[in-house]
Amino acid sequence: MVSFLLVKEQLQMAGEPVQRRLQFVLEHFGKRPIENVVLNYFSLANEVYTITTREGQFVVKNCFKNNSRELVANEAGLIQFLNDHQVPCPKLIPTLKGDLFLEYDGQFYIMNEFVEGWVPKWHDTLSEQLMHETMHAMADFHRATEHFKPPFEPNRTAALAIPDARLWLQALQPTLAQDSSPRQSVPQMLSIVDELLELADSLQARLATRDLSVLKKVFIHGDLHCFNLIFSADQQDYRAILDFDFIREDYRLVDFFWATRSMVWGYWFEVLHGFSPRANEHRITDEQLQAATSRALAFMIDSYRTYHDLPDAEIRLLPLFAEALPFYTVRFFKLTNSEEECLDHAGWFRHQLDNMAQTVRHLDVAIEQFLARD
C-alpha cells in the first residue's frame, strides 16, 4: 500500500481513494515507493507527487489542465522534442507498455525523472544571474519550438484571437445576467465581461492597423518565468524547464510579456528602489514603476538576444499583448469552480483591467527608451 506525506493543507480528499488510485498508476509505470509519497503541488492545473524508489526519485503528475488525450500527447511530445534538441527538461519515464503518458480512470498522468537543483519561490531573494538565465531558457525554448510539430493539431485559443474571445464573452454574459444566486463573484464578473466586450472592438481595430507579420509564432510555454525553472545549486545556470500546462501555438511575445511581470515585480523594482513592491507599507509611484519596467525590459531584450534573434520591429508590438492579456486569462473563469476560486479570479481580472492603460504606457516608454539608446 502507498503511504502519504501530504504537504498541501488545501488538499480536501479522502486519503484511501487517493492511495489506491496512485498505487494503480505507479504499477503501470513499474515504480514501487520505499518511502512516503510526497504531494508537493496541488492546484486547478495539476497534482504533483514525488516518488522515492530503489531506482531513485521520480515525479508523477496528474494533468488537470492538459486533460485530454490530445493535450497530454502534445505535452509529452514537446518534452521529448525539447530534450532531443538540447533544451533541458525532466526526462519522461514511459509506462511498462512504452507509452509516454498514462490514461487511467478518466485522468491523464505523466512521470518524469527527478532533477536535483533549486526552484525559487516568491519570497526568495533573486539575483541578476537568475533573471539572465530565465531569458536564456526562454530563448532556447523558442529557438527549438519554432520547429516543433505536435502530435495533434493545437486547439487552444491564441492571445490575439479577439473575435474568438468576444464570442466566449458573449456566451457567458447572459448566463451571468440571469444568475439569481447570492454569489458575489457573479456581479463582479458581469461587470468585467461587459467592460471587455466594450474594449474588444477597439483592440481588434488597432490590430487591423498593425503589421503582425513581423511577429514570430512558435509553440509557446505559456507560463515561463524563473519560478518554473530548476537552477543549479549555485544558482548560476538553469538546469530544466518545468510546467507545460499552458503550451500552445502562439506568438513568442506572449511568453516575453508574461515574464515582464515577474521581472518587474519580483526583482528589478526592489533592486532599483530598495523595497519590495508587494510591501504594503510603501507607496509605489508611477515614476518608480516606469523606471523598473524600463530597466527590466532592456535587460530582458539584451539577455534574450544573447541566445536568439529578436528584431526591433517585433519588440515594438509588445504592448499589444498587455492589452490582449485579459481576453485570454478571463477564460480561466468557470461558474462551476468554488466561490472562493471565482472571487480570486474576478479580483485578478479586475486588477488586469484597472492597470492595463498604465502597463501599456510603461511598455511604450520602455521600448522607445531601449530603441533610442542604439
Q: How far is CA 148 from the centre of its chain?
A: 19
Query: Is the model more confident about 29 or about 38?
Result: 29
Query: Based on the domain organization, do 239 and 173 belong to the same domain?
Result: yes
Cell 525554448, located at residue: 141
What are 54-76's pLDDT values in tens digits?
Answer: 999 999 999 988 889 999 999 99
**352 and 305 together in one domain:** yes
Residue 160 lies in a domain: yes
Q: Could you report the per-residue pLDDT of 1-32, keeping only the tens digit for each?
A: 455 444 443 333 434 466 778 899 999 999 99
Query: What residue ranges in the chain does DSSP mark as E strands?
Result: 4-6, 37-42, 46-53, 56-63, 102-104, 107-113, 217-220, 229-231, 238-241, 248-251
pLDDT value at position 66? 84
Which segment, 14-18, 322-326, 335-339, is predicted with the most confidence on average?
322-326
Q: Is 119 inside any structural domain? A: no
In the block, cell 487517493 appears at: 18
The answer on pLDDT for 326 being more than 50 is: yes
Residues 26-51: what's their mean pLDDT? 87
3-state secondary structure 120-162: CCCCCCCCHHHHHHHHHHHHHHHHHHCCCCCCCCCCCCCCCCH
- What percent of the chain lies above the pLDDT cut of 90? 84
Q: Between helices 286-305 and 128-145, what is the axis angle to 10°?
A: 50
Mean pLDDT score of the chain, rounded to an integer? Answer: 92
> In the chain, how many domains are there?
2
Among 253, 251, 255, which Cα is nearest to 217's? 251
Whether the per-residue pLDDT at 338 is higher than 70: the answer is: yes
Which domain, by its residues, includes 198? 128-372
User: Measuring CA to CA, which residue among 251, 254, 199 is closest to residue 223?
Assistant: 254
Closest-CA residue to 170 (of 200, 209, 215, 140): 200
Q: What is the CATH number of the domain that holds 264?
A: 3.90.1200.10
Look at residues 61, 89, 113 and tell me which one is the last residue of a structural domain.
Answer: 113
In this structure, are 191 and 269 located in the same domain? yes
Q: Which of 48, 80, 113 is the last residue of a domain?
A: 113
Range 346-371 average pLDDT: 97
pLDDT in the model for residue 17 = 60
Whether residue 197 has pLDDT greater than 90: yes
Specify if 120 maps to a domain: no
Q: Do 354 and 277 fall into the same domain?
A: yes
Three cell numbers written together for 72: 497530454
**What integer pLDDT is reported at residue 152 of this predicted model?**
95
Q: What average pLDDT score do residues 82-110 get?
A: 96
Give me the pLDDT at residue 263, please.
97
Residues 19 and 103 in one domain: yes
34 in Cβ contact with 52 (< 8 Å): yes
Give the confidence band of 368 by pLDDT, cuts at 50, 70, 90: very high
How does DSSP classify residue 92? B
pLDDT exceeds cutoff 50 at 185: yes
Asked whether residue 156 falls in the same domain as residue 63, the answer is no
Same domain, 246 and 316: yes
Is residue 122 included in any domain, yes or no? no
Domain assignment of residue 74, yes or no: yes
The answer to whether position 163 is within a domain reads yes
- Are residues 210 and 353 located together in one domain of the fold? yes
Co-location of 150 and 272 in the same domain? yes
What is the per-residue pLDDT across 229-267, written as a single tens digit (0 to 9) for each?
A: 999 999 999 999 999 999 999 999 999 999 999 999 999
- The cell numbers describing 82, all together, are 525539447
**102 and 171 housed in the same domain:** no
CATH assignment of the domain containing 19? 3.30.200.20
Tell me: pLDDT of 141 over 60. Answer: yes
pLDDT of residue 373: 87
Long-range contacts of 350-355 (CB under 8 A, 24+ apart): 350/188, 350/192, 352/325, 352/326, 353/192, 353/195, 353/196, 353/326
Same domain, 91 and 171: no
Q: Are residues 238 and 92 both part of a single domain?
A: no
The pLDDT-based confidence of 83 (bands split at 50, 70, 90) is: very high
Report yes or no on 118 lying in a domain.
no
In the listed set 81, 113, 145, which residue is the last one of a domain according to the structure? 113
Q: What is the pLDDT of residue 122?
A: 86
The per-residue pLDDT for 9 is: 35
Residue type, 274: G
Structure confidence by residue, pLDDT tens digits, 268-315? 999 999 998 877 778 899 999 999 999 999 999 999 999 999 999 999
Q: Tell me if 237 is assigned to some domain.
A: yes
